[in-house]
Structure 1
Amino acid sequence: MRALIQRVSTASVAVDGETIGAIEQGVLAYIGLGHEDTIEHGRRLIDKILTYRIFENESHQLDQNVQQVNGGLLLVSQFTLMAKTNKGRRPDFGAAMTPDKAQILFAEMVSYAQSRYLDVATGQFGADMQVASINDGPLNFLLEVV
C-alpha cells in the first residue's frame, strides 16, 4: 500500500464538472492499493498520514501534523501508484488490487479516516476525476505500509 501525500494550500476533486470533494490547507493523499493489502494496512496508513509532521511550527520546522493545524484531508484512490516502472516504457499495473476489491478497501479506509478525524473529503472511486491543488512548498512524500 502506498500513499503519495502533498501538503496543499487548497485541493479539490471534480467529476463531470461537479466538485465532489474539497479542502483548504491540509493534505492531499493519493492512495494505491496492492493485492496483499488489508484494512489493517489501511488503518496504519491513515494513522500515519494523520500524524505525519509536514507542517511548520513557529520556528519554521516541520513539526506539526494535519490535525494540529486543523487542516483538511482529501483522499483519492489512484491505482497507478502501484505501477512497476523499472523496465521498458510502459507501466505494469499487475501489482494493483483488482477494482472490485480495491473499491471496498478504499471505502473502509475513508470510513476509518472519518472516524478518526472530522475534515475528510474524497474523490469518487473509479471515476474520471479532475484533481486540482496548490502544492504548498512544494512538499511531497511517498509513504508505504507493508
Structure 2
Amino acid sequence: MTSHTPDFQAIFEQAPVNYVVVDNDYRIVAATDGYLAMAMRTRDALIGRNIFEAFPDNPNDPEAKGTQALKSGIEQARQTGKAEWLPGSVRYPIARPEEQGGGYEERWFRALNAPIFDTEGNVAYVIHGNEDVTDSVA
C-alpha cells in the first residue's frame, strides 16, 4: 500500500466555494477558483495584494460600504476567534477589469469570516467566504 500525502493547496483551490484567505495585514494569500471566477480576477492578480486595494468601494457611489462590512467581519473573526456570518446581505459592487468593460458590477453577498490559527493558538489568517445572492436580492 502506498502512502499519499494529499495536495491540500489543490484541494483548497478547486473546492467548489468562494473562499479567500487574508493574513493579518489584509494581504490575500490564497483563493479558490470559485472566488476568482466570482471576482473576475486571476490568482496572479490577487495573491499578495491588500484585499481592500484589490476590491475597493466604488468611488462614485456615496453609499458604498462593502469594504467597511468586510473589514468589520474580518476583525470580528480575529477578536472573537469564532466563525461568524455577517448579518443579512452585504452590497459590494465588484470592479470589472478593463478588458471586461470596466466600471462596477452590482453584487450582493452573504458572507462568512472564520479565523485560522497558528500552532500557538494565535489568529494567523482569516478565511472569508461568500455566496453571491444578487439574484435573490435584486
Whichever of the two has the greater Rg, that structure is 2
Q: Structure 1 or 2: larger strand share? A: 1
RCO higher in structure (CA 8 A, sep ≥6): 1
Give the TM-score taking structure 1 as reference length. 0.24
Q: Structure 1 or 2: larger helix share? A: 2
